Amino acid sequence: MDPMLVIWLGAVVFFVVVESLTVQMLCIWFAASALVSLVLALLGVPEYIQIIVFFVCTALLLIFTRPIVIRLMRQKPVARTNADRVLHMPAIVTQEINNEIAEGQVKVLNQIWTARSLSGETLPVGSRVVVRMIEGVKVIVEKAQ
């Protein structure tokens, strides 16, 4: 058995194991390059070419694919909730909205929400408002036109 087969197979296994222990995509490029060199060893390509291909393949993968993978990994999925369904919906003030004393509630889609006024104005009970934003567990409303 060709000793380079054992070396490349060991390199593939080593890099895959190290990659599986991390979450930063550090060694996958080396594992892929070692796999290419393993195939070359199976085909009987000279050792010096296998080594050159390993380094060239690693460099090319790092240069051309790593930035794409890093960009894709940084995209955080937006945690969607059904709370955003109240946006732009009409509501009725059920407790006076007064931003200065941090009080106020509205009823929107048959749910009671803590509310604050977008403009800062005090809105009396019974006022018709429209939900403009959600901040945490509060809706930010403005007087309906």
SS3 46: coil
pTM to 2 decimals? 0.52
pLDDT tens for the chain, 145 residues: list them.
Answer: 789 999 999 999 999 999 888 877 788 899 999 999 999 999 999 999 999 999 999 999 999 988 888 787 777 666 666 778 889 999 999 999 999 999 999 999 999 999 999 999 999 999 999 999 998 889 999 999 8
Q: How high is the pLDDT of residue 119? A: 92
- The residue among 109, 117, 110, 121 whose CA lies nearest residue 139 is 117
Q: Which residues pair with 128 in a beta bridge?
A: 92
Distance from C-alpha of 26 to C-alpha of 55, rounded to nearest angstrom? 15
Domain range annotation of the chain: 3-74, 83-143
Please report, as a single letter, which amino acid is at residue 35: L
Q: DSSP readout, 73-130?
A: HH-PPP---GGGGGTT-EEEEEEEEEGGGTEEEEEETTEEEEEEESS---B-TT-EEE
Distance from C-alpha of 79 to C-alpha of 134, rounded to nearest angstrom? 14
Please report, as a single letter, which amino acid is at residue 11: A
| 64 within 8 A of 29, measured Cβ to Cβ | no
Q: How high is the pLDDT of residue 67? A: 85
Which option is the CATH number for 83-143: 1.10.3720.10, 3.10.150.10, 2.40.50.140, 3.30.1950.10?
2.40.50.140
